[in-house]
């Protein structure tokens, strides 16, 4: 019994409580291991269809970003089309190499001037089965999810197959 208390004390002292570990674990959501069809004009023109796994996102069947879950963020000033999305999962891009996806377009930057994507905010509207992805081209972690946040490159909408 004393050994158990000692181990528990050590884990708590190191910040390894079950609560601390939970903060870095991506939420269980029905968005993973599914194909998503580009639904917004920006998604149709820039990304094409996409597929998500818990640690990556692949656009147009060929351009993959490796992801690391950071946090769940509740939008402070959500735009009206996101009113049914209670929170967004914030992911950090692990590989920062800029990529062109479709016809020279990229998530951040213009045609033929791709810039790195640092963060992805991903929101799922369970009612309509829409998925919204917001790309951020700023190194600073976004504190809110809306189009007026520093570093927003664009928003992309998808629906499920």
Judge whether residue 50 has pLDDT over 70: yes
Please give the pLDDT value at position 4: 40
Q: What is the pLDDT of residues 86-145, one digit of tens each?
A: 899 999 999 888 888 988 889 998 777 888 999 999 999 888 889 999 999 999 999 888
Q: Mean pLDDT lowest for which of 7-11, 18-22, 71-75, 138-142?
A: 18-22
Phi, psi of 110 (to 5 degrees): -100, -170
Q: Where are the domains of the chain?
A: 25-160
Rg of the chain, C-alpha, whole Å: 18
Is 130:15 a contact under the CB 8 Å cutoff? Answer: no
State how far the Cα of 82 lies from the Cα of 63, in Å rounded to an integer.
Answer: 26
CA dist 113 and 122 (Å) reads 24
More confident position, 18 or 82: 82
């Amino acid at each position: 019994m004393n050994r158990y208390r000692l181990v528990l004390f050590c884990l708590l002292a190191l910040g390894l409580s079950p609560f601390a570990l939970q903060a870095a674990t991506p939420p269980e959501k029905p968005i993973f291991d599914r194909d998503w069809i580009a639904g917004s004009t920006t998604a149709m023109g820039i990304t094409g269809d996409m597929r998500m796994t818990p640690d990556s996102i692949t656009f147009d069947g060929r351009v993959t970003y490796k992801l690391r879950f950071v946090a769940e963020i509740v939008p402070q000033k959500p735009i009206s089309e996101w009113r049914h999305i209670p929170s967004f999962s914030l992911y950090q891009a692990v590989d920062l190499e800029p990529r062109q996806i479709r016809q020279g377009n990229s998530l951040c930057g213009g045609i033929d001037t791709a810039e790195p994507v640092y963060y992805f905010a991903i929101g799922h509207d369970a009612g309509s089965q829409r998925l919204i992805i917001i790309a951020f081209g700023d190194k600073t972690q976004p504190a809110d999810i809306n189009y007026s946040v520093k570093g927003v490159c664009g928003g992309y909408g998808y629906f499920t197959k």
